[in-house]
Structure 1
Amino acid sequence: MTEACVVTGTDTGIGKTWFAAALTQALDGYYWKPVQAGLEEETDSQAVARLGGISPARIIPEAYRLKTPASPHLSASLDCVSVAPERLSLPETDHPLVVEGAGGLLVPLTDRLLFADVFARWQIPVILCARTTLGTINHTPLSLEGLKHRALPALGGAFLGAG
């Protein structure tokens, strides 16, 4: 089985992609963003390749590339796409795999499926990224409770940004 971990966050726009790029480079690994919502600007996969100097051969294509920049469930709905959970299976690789979620643990993929549900199916270690700004004291323990509630292994945490 592939050695893998999930990089998720307490929020969106906190530096998960930057962290995932650094981790992928440090592990000499592969990167996978299962669902990318928003294609007009640089995608997270493109940013990881640029930031981490990761070979395109080590960037696994997204299962879903949604045009509308919004939460995955809304983006899929607006783009007339149905997100099928069975398409969100961990790819096999010959090096460690870094998987980046979108937003936080409880971001919906469909009306009935959250990223945390997919992570729970995978049962791989999770790294929780958090801001170093006001609100972190609340968001971080809430996210950790979400991990615990789903019996997800927390590998660690990363506080990103200037305090």
Structure 2
Amino acid sequence: MHNPLKLIVAGIGTEIGKTVVSAIVVEALQADYWKPVQSGALEDSDRETVRRLISNPVSQFHPETYRLREPLSPHAAAAIDGVDISLTAFELPQTTNHLVVELAGGLMVPLNDQDLIIDLVKQLNLPVLLVSKHYLGSINHTLLSVEALQNRSIPIVGIVFNGPETPATEDFILNYTGLTSFGRIEWETEVTNGFVSRNAGKMRTLFEKYDAGL
């Protein structure tokens, strides 16, 4: 890699596999990890999950800007905790390493009464790796997510497909959007370090091609 790569892992919705993909990218790049907002599961947060799944000794895990108790949309969880989420509170962690930023929920999820997750993406000014999971309706959700990003001139690194191979869906999305496939992650009931390491090897090759094209 020529320079440290900083990117955002976003999903087309919730329970899409962003944390697993984030772990794979962190391992592939030996990158640092940061999740700006954690809603619920504070004792077993996504930061701790990713830390558990990676094997390299380089990655650092930066603390969340907001840690909210309830597993709800950030605006609702923050209201319960008596917290006001402000875009101005978010600052990228200081690091000379690669950085993976994992979002909470989908792009149009509210942070407060005015701002959405996608507004945070725009403010952070990093390219997005979009995670799409195969289910009935996922084409619609994927294309809407791509359109929302493109409408705000947010660059998209590519799309990761999550789940069993579905050529009709994958081919259509890639042909329609013109975006690059960053591989497909087989859905696993139990994700292990070995699973992450195997997929990280494939992902590393894709990032080397991406870096060479910059």
TM-score relative to the length of structure 1: 0.93
Q: Answer whether contact 1:2 1:93 (CA < 8 A) is retained.
A: no
CA contact (8 A) 1:33 1:61 kept: yes
User: 2:44 maps to which residue?
Assistant: 42
Matches within 5 A, 1:55-134: 58-134=60-136
Q: Deviations over 1:49-71 (max 9, x none)?
A: 11223669711000010001101
Secondary structure in structure 1 of the residue aligned to 2:23: helix
Letter aligned with residue 134 of structure 2 = T
Query: Structure 1: which amino acid aligns with 2:88?
Result: E
Structure 1 position 39, deviation (Å)? 2.7
Offset of 1:42 from its aligned partner? Answer: 1.8
Secondary structure class of the residue paired with 1:151:
coil
- 2:74, 2:58 → 1: CA distance? 24
Does the 8 A contact of 1:129 with 1:157 survive in 2? yes
Is 1:28–2:30 an aligned residue pair?
yes
Report the AA paired with residue 27 of structure 1: L
> What stretches of structure 1 of length at least 5 have no aligned partner?
none
For the 8 Å contact 1:10–1:105, the answer to whether it is kept is yes
AA at the equivalent of 1:7 = V
Q: Which has the higher contact order (CA 8 A, sep 6+)?
A: 1
Q: Tell me, in whole angstroms, the C-alpha distance in 2 between the residues paired with 1:41 and 1:12.
A: 20
Q: Which amino acid aligns with 1:4?
A: K
Q: State the 1:89 CA deviation.
A: 1.6
Q: How many residues align structurally?
A: 163
The alpha-carbon deviation at position 161 of structure 1 amounts to 1.7
Query: Is residue 6 of structure 1 aligned with residue 13 of structure 2?
Result: no
Residues 67 and 55 of structure 1: CA distance in aligned 2, closer, same or farther (over 3 Å): farther
**CA RMSD between the two structures:** 1.8
Q: Report the more deviating stretch, 102-111 or 49-58.
A: 49-58
Q: Give the whole-Å Cα distance in 2 for the aligned partners of 1:129 and 1:100.
A: 11
Greater fraction of residues in helix: 2
Q: Which runs of 5+ in 2 are unaligned?
A: 167-214
Indicate the percent of aligned positions where both proteins have the same amino acid.
42
Deviations 1:50-101 (A, max 9, x none): 1223669711000010001101010000111111211212112111100000
Whether the aligned pair in 1 keeps the contact of 2:30 and 2:58 (CA below 8 Å) is no
* Superposed displacement of residue 40, structure 1: 5.2
Q: Deviations over 1:82-126 (max 9, x none)?
A: 112112121121111000001111111111011111111222110
In the alignment, the residues of structure 2 paired with residue 105 and residue 112 of structure 1 have an alpha-carbon distance, to the nearest angstrom, of 14
Higher alpha-carbon deviation: 130-139 or 45-54: 45-54
